[in-house]
Amino acid sequence: MNGLMPVGESDYTDTDFQRVQRIAQAQAGIHLPATKRALVYSRVSRRVRELGHASFRTYLDFVQAPGGEGEMEKLVYALTTNVTSFFREKKHFEHLETVVVPRLAANIAAGGRGRVWSAACSTGQEPWSIAMSIMTAFPDAAAHDMRILATDINADVVARAAGGVYPDEETEGIPAARKAQFMESCGDGDYRFAGPIGRLPAFRVLNLNASWPIRGTFSAIFCRNVVIYFDEATRERLWQRLSDRLEPGGFLYVGHSERVSCATQCGLTQVAPTIYEKDD
Ligand SMILES: C[S@@+](CC[C@H](N)C(=O)[O-])C[C@H]1O[C@@H](n2cnc3c(N)ncnc32)[C@H](O)[C@@H]1O
């Protein structure tokens, strides 16, 4: 015990769960089915306790009252899952290195720019993996107009991603030669990305279900393991908006359990189970 009063199951009612369901949907497009009732309790009760509330009801009243905006953000963060890893779904990175990076290099050689978007970047393993892939296949990428936009709704994970520092055990998925090339030891068991690779990613807070202050199109978009939390209508809206942000011949990578249900209407062709190409 940490000295705080426990918040028991009796302080968490169906009405409270329904309020959290509405908040998650309105704030982030996150759909919480009834099966998530216990998960919500375990994720949110800690914040209820830490803020000194005896029940979910008074906590939610506080969150929804004027002045509760900061805690509203923390509540939404508590409802999201941030699990990620370096080079998750290796095939995407092989495809990126062999198909997309040569195009990026050709675009740049022709006087254009190179743009890739990691659209739910969590703590940064995805955009830093993209950066390592680009630097490996196109070693002087950082000397050109090549950028990886890395965004997430959660400001806390975006700050961690931007720091680019990871405990040694979290770097397991990085091949040894790449780790040696792109990271340096912090001397305390952590490793950080160092050198020109640091110029590639640009980290921003962005809600995929709100407006996007983003200009231009991308050669590739990674939107992986996030739409599983959205309902079908929200997913379809998002697929269309992402497709609109791809250049012709650009690629959309989705999570291993995700599919673009409206691919044809969205102007996308499935070229592998979780890879879609934007039509010309
Ligand atoms: C499971 S992680 C996926 C990370 C990475 N894309 C991967 O596949 O390893 C899901 C991320 O989606 C983010 N997320 C959830 N709802 C979001 C929204 N409406 N807009 C932007 N990001 C969102 C969460 O904060 C979380 O970091």
Catalytic residue among 47, 147, 152, 245: 152
Catalytic residue among 37, 43, 103, 204: 43
Question: What residues have CB less than 8 Å from 211, skipping those under 6 apart?
Answer: none
Cα(120) to centroid(ligand 1), Å: 4
Mean pLDDT for each consecutive 10-residue tract of the chain (280 residues)? 60 95 97 96 93 94 97 96 97 98 96 97 98 97 98 98 98 98 97 98 98 96 97 97 98 98 97 97
Mark whether 138 and 252 lie in a shared domain: yes
Cα(242) to centroid(ligand 1), Å: 15
Q: What is the CA radius of gyration of the chain?
A: 20
Structure-derived torsion over alpha carbons of residues 253, 256, 258, 260, reported in degrees to the nearest 10:
40
Q: Which residues is 220 bridged to in the sheet?
A: 116, 251
Mark whether 96 and 73 lie in a shared domain: no
Residue-range definition of the domain harbouring residue 169: 90-278
Atom of ligand 1 nearest to the CA of 77: 25
Mark whether 188 is an active-site residue. no
**What pLDDT is stored for residue 8 in this prediction?**
72
User: H or E element: which one contains 23?
Assistant: helix 14-28
Cα(210) to centroid(ligand 1), Å: 14
**What pLDDT is stored for residue 261 in this prediction?**
94
Q: Is residue 2 part of a domain?
A: no
Mark whether 35 and 174 lie in a shared domain: no
Q: Is 109 exposed, middle or buried (0-12, 13-18, 19+ CB in 10 A)?
A: exposed
Mark whether 164 and 34 lie in a shared domain: no
The pocket around ligand 1, CB under 6 angstroms, is made up of 28-30, 80-84, 88, 120, 122, 126, 152-154, 157, 207-209, 224-226, 229, 255
**What pLDDT is stored for residue 226 in this prediction?**
98
Mark whether 110 and 65 lie in a shared domain: no
Point out the domain boundary residue: 79, 114, 129: 79
Kindly report the CATH number assigned to the domain that includes residue 43: 1.10.155.10
Question: What residues have CB less than 8 Å from 243, skipping those under 6 apart?
Answer: 252, 266, 267, 268, 278
Mutate to test the pocket of ligand 1, among 85, 117, 226 (most ligand atoms within 8 A of CB): 226
**What pLDDT is stored for residue 11 in this prediction?**
86
Mark whether 43 is an active-site residue. yes
**What pLDDT is stored for residue 4 in this prediction?**
58
Mark whether 66 and 178 lie in a shared domain: no
Which of 50, 121, 212 lies closest to 131, judged by CA? Answer: 121
Point out the domain boundary residue: 49, 79, 109: 79
Q: Is residue 151 part of a domain?
A: yes
Cα(260) to centroid(ligand 1), Å: 17
Atom 9 of ligand 1, residue of closest alpha carbon: 84
Point out the domain boundary residue: 26, 56, 79: 79
Q: Is residue 1 part of a domain?
A: no
